[in-house]
Every structure is written in structure tokens, then in C-alpha cells.
A and B are shown apart, each in its own frame.
Chain A
Amino acid sequence: MNAADFLDVVNATLRLSTPLILAALAGLYSERSGIVDIGLEGKMLAAAFSAAVIAALTGSAWLGLLGGIAASLVMAMIHGYASISLRGNQVVSGVAINFVASGLTAFFGQAWFGEGGRTPQLPMTARFGEIDFPGAQAVADVPVLGLVYSHFISGHNLLVYFAFLAVPATWWVVQRTRFGLRLRAVGENPAAVDTAGISVAWMRYRALMLTGLLCGVAGTYLSIAQSAAFTRDMTAGQGYIALAALIFAKWKPWPVLWTCLLFGFLDALSIRLQGVVVPGIGAVPVQAIQALPYILTMILLAGFIGKAIPPRAGGMPYVKER
């Protein structure tokens, strides 16, 4: 691989890890508050569909984003109502969200547009396009710094920047604010929070709203920034990968960033390595290359992360003692 290939892989890594980062951070808020969220996938899918439909109808990417967030929030609130207010099983509710999203998006897509669940292709104006930072072209020839500025920092779409800024923001919210302290407490020991006179249910609902918001942005990214239309089941398991990344990262914001970048990098590498002739072996078969991210994930999971301890109250509905 030469320098140009390297740049290519780095840029692909940033593009591919963006939805994972957003979804994993979404899961972080929910799980840190004690609500297990299997439904990241479904929320992303609903958001992707809603964003694509609204962007197609209005021609505005921003309205699409709002629509995506709204759809994801509705899903998050259904999950919240089932698991907080009704004290239902959180895993069952999350799985239900995934099925509902997968079925409803395909159904409405077919009913409204008649293209097998696909939405119309969006023009560039109805999408989040790539932003070139001022002076990016001018400094492109400056060694190292200019290269980094013009190739990595400039030239992505808005939602990519949002995802990378969401990491420090999440760290600050979770570790440095009163809300974050209570969020962590409610996931570890809700009874103590309750004793302090803070509503456990309201805390958890607020956490789920943040989950809905971030999943909404992740889904919107998939359908109107990374591509130009919604397709049936377009999340393709990314919600689950994000969940794995979250466990990998032991429910902490910065490690979430690194693990998502790692997953994105492996994916980008598998795309780039296809058909490349390895000296002494010859062209590596497509199958082997595509299995690479999963094999490495297994190795890392088995050997390197150590013990991942989830928030102690995770998965348990809170019942006040009487």
C-alpha cells in the first residue's frame, strides 16, 4: 500500500465508523441509565426511513434529519414506556422494536413509492454533502499538516463531524455534569437515587430521549448522507455491531470511539484489500477478506478487553419497595 491508498483507507474508516459511533453512544446513555437497548438497530432503521422519506418529499436534508430524529424518538419512547413504566422485559421490548422497524419501513416504503421498500433517489441538494473547509485546497501540498487538514479534517459531511464531536460531549455530560452523575447512579443503584428524591423513571426517560436523538442522527446518516435513498434493512446489523462496540468499550465514551474506529477500519481494509495480490500467496479470495473483521473481532474479544462489567442495575425494572 502506498500513501494514496493509506489516505483512502483512513477516509473510508471515518465514513464507515460514523454510524457506529453515533449508535454506540446512543446505547451508552440508555445502558448507563440501566435500560438494556437491543433496539438500536430498529431505531436507526426507522430514522433512516423517515429521513429519506421526508428529504424526498420536502427536498430538505435538515427536515429529513428532524424527521429521522422524530421517528427514532418515538421508537425510544415506546421502548421506554414498555420497560420503565410497564416494567416489561427490556430485551423483549428491544427485539420487538427491531422487528417492527424492519417490517413497517418495508411496508410503508412499498405502499408509498412502490419500489420494493426503496425510497426515491435523492438529489444532492436534499442530502448532507461533503464540506470543504476554507483553504483546504490551498494547503493541500504542505507536508503532513496540510495533508491531514485537507484530506482527513476537511471534506466530510456534517454528520461525520457531529459524530466525532459527540464523543467529547458525551464524556463531559456523563463525567462532569450533575445529570451525568445521576445517570450513572441510576444505572448502578436506582434505590439510592430514589432515596435522594430524584425520580428514577424520569431520569431513565431522559436518557432514552438522548438515545433516540443519537440513533436518529445515525439512521439519517445512513440514508441521506452516506447514500442517497433508503433501502430495505439498510442498517445491515450495524446496530448490533454498535452494541458489541459498547460492550467492548466497557460503556465508556472514549473507548467507544476507539473501538468503533477499529471496526470501521477493519471494514475499510476489507474493502480495500479485495483483489490485492499478496506477495507469495496471490490474490486473496473475497470470502477470506470479508471474514477478516469478524475474525479479528473474535480474537480481540477473546483475549484483549478483559472483563466487561455492565451497569449493575442494567436490565432490571425499578420497583420501589413498599
Chain B
Amino acid sequence: MRVKWLAAAAAVLFAGNAYAAEVSPAVIYDIGGKHDKSFNESAFAGEEQFKKDTGIGYHEFEIQNPSQYDQALRNFARRGYQPIIAIGFSQAQALEKVSKEFPKIQFGIVDATVDAPNVRSLVFREEEGSYLVGMLAALKSETGKIGFVGGMDIPLIRKFACGYVQGAKAVNPKIEIFQNMVGTTGDAWNDPVKGGELAKSQLSRGADVIYTAAGASGLGAMQAAADAKKYSIGVDSNQDDLHPGSVLTSMVKHVDTAIYSANMDMKDGKWTGGAKVLGLKENGVGYTSDQYNKDVLTADMKSKADEAKAKIISGEIKVHDYTADNSCPM
């Protein structure tokens, strides 16, 4: 109720402003849930930031099962909210349908491309960020073995894995990399027990750094690494504070800033549809370095990663995008 009230208040407040488009943002989280400390939570953070800076409230919905995608989008569109941002690739089909039904409403989607004039597609170059954390993992590893725990087995997650492998092999061509996926359905984003088991299996085979790209399932993998006094790498949000001293770094994907600027663009009348690709250059992805991981991430490692970052931005290093041809050359 408070959110609605805020939105109403904001509507009154901005009624006289001729330049501002009607902005009443809405966000639809994916199955992992708003508080997955990772991907969806990053979207939540972006909306919260927008609310704090502008006083404009937002509407939100958490998907419980795939049959709700259409309903949730249609429901928000019918009420005239915009921009309506769908989080996660699995909402693409529903959005394709609903965006045609409501051509005057502006939509956004994260992690997928929907080809419609009223949709802004926000996609990230996860492979570039993953390349950097792959390098850091290989630099940190003492055993020459590292692991990757993915959520659902889809091209997007393979893209993370492929960038990670390339980065690690750039540092140590002989490095061994174990790759596991939690599952093949949406539930794979929310199964920390299975994530933990996969990590334990990799740890017992000698891996000493584990990168997770598995939403809430990744929390189990990171816990397993912390229990074994080994290292893990977080994903999407900054997860360094989960297990200080064990989390090496996090591959952040700035869903928050992408959503924030989408809302801001709408508010300032600068909204555009089409695809926005966010990589290292656009500061859409990156790795974290803060007070929680300062003891494990050395200056030498950071300078190597930053050097590679500059080379990726300049185009000197080309990181292969798995989704371009559905294969990983490494």
C-alpha cells in the first residue's frame, strides 16, 4: 500500500512538469526471488536507488511459477505503469507477446533481446567480467584446479563459464576446470543444498577456487567453499561480505544501474527502445575489490586483471561470446 501511495504522491508532484514522461516504474523478478543476494536483488537495489533519489515509488511482483509471466506483465501494463522491467531471460517470450498488446507502454528486459520498438533490451557482456574473475581464480589457485557451479543449464550460464575458462587459461594454460550445473529447470536457481554438494564434489577433487553463477543456489556453493577454507567467487551482486576472507571477489553485473538509468531516461524524456549491450567499457560488468576481500585479493592480482581489462576494452583481447555460436572454443 505504501508503494502505491508514494506513486500517487509522486504523480501529483510531477503532474505540472511538462518535460517528464509519465513514469511509474514496475519490476517483475524471476523465480530466484527478489532476495537472492545476487541477480534479482541487484534489480531491487536499482529500483530502491531510483526511489530514494526521485521519491517515485515502484511496483513489483515476484514470479512463483512460469505460468505467471504473462499475467504479471499484462496486469502491470493494463494499469499503465511504465517502464515495466522484466528480470531474466525466461520472461522474453511473454514480453514479446505482451509488448505487442500494449504498444504505448514501454517495457524493458534484462538478459534477453526482444525485438519490439517499445522494449529496451538490457544485455550484458558477462563473458568479459567472467574472463577477469577467471584470471583472478587462476592466479589465486595453488592446486591448478578451479571450479564453476552454474545454475540452470542454458546458453547464458555457459557464457559465464566460457569467459571464466578463457580468463583462467590465459593465466595458466594447463589449469584444470571442473564445470557443473545445478539443474535444467527454474528450480535450479533456488537449490542451495545441491549447489553445496556440487561445490563439495569439486573441492574434494582438488579445486580451491569456485565461481558460482547460480542465483540463490550459489549461496550453498559459497558456504561449502567457506567451510572447507577455500575460495569462492560471487556473481551479479557484490557478495564479498557473505564470507569475508573466503570470497575472493564477485563478478558484478550492474543490473541496478541499468534499471536506474532506464527509469531516469523515462523520467527525463530520453527513453529509447532497442538493445543496450553493457560490457566492461560501459561499466556494465566488473569485479569487486573492497574491505571484505582486501586480504585475499593482492595488488599484483588486481594489476594483472586491470591490465587485461584495458586490453579487452581496446579490443586487443577478444573474449569469445558463447551465445554467438553456442560453443566454447576452449
Contacts and interface: CB of A to CB of B under 8 A. Distances in A.
A227 B223 contact: yes
A286 interface: yes
Given A118-B35, A229-B219, A8 B191 contact: no
Interface string A1-26: 00011011001100110000000000
Contacts of B192: 227, 229, 231, 234
Interface residues of A, number: 33
Interface stretch (B113-121, B123-131, B180-188, B278-286): B180-188
B309 interface: no
Nearest to B222: A121
Interface in B162-206: 178-181, 183-184, 187, 190-194, 196-198, 200-201, 204-205
Interface string B262-298: 0000000000000000000000000000000000000
A222 B220 CA distance: 12
A4 B205 CA distance: 8
A226 B191 CA distance: 12
Chain B, interface size category, equals 20 to 34
B153 A231 contact: no
A287 interface: yes
B301 interface: no
Contacts of B205: 4-5, 8
The 7 closest A-B pairs by CB, nearest first: A116-B35, A116-B33, A115-B35, A8-B204, A286-B153, A228-B223, A286-B181
Contacts of B6: none
14 contacts: A5-B205, A8-B201, A12-B200, A15-B200, A115-B37, A116-B35, A118-B35, A227-B192, A231-B190, A231-B192, A234-B193, A274-B181, A275-B179, A275-B180
B30 interface: no
A124 interface: yes
B236 interface: no
Nearest to B44: A116
A238 B201 CA distance: 20
B178 A275 contact: yes
B216 A231 contact: yes
Contacts of A11: 204
B220 A232 contact: no
Interface of A: 4-5, 7-8, 11-12, 15-16, 114-118, 121, 124, 222, 226-229, 231-234, 236, 268, 271-272, 274-275, 286-287, 290
A287 B184 contact: yes
Nearest to A130: B227
Contact of B34 (A116, A227, A290): A116
Contacts of A8: 201, 204-205
A12 B196 CA distance: 11
- Counting chain B CB atoms within 10 Å of each CB, which of A116, A222, A275, A286 scores highest? A116
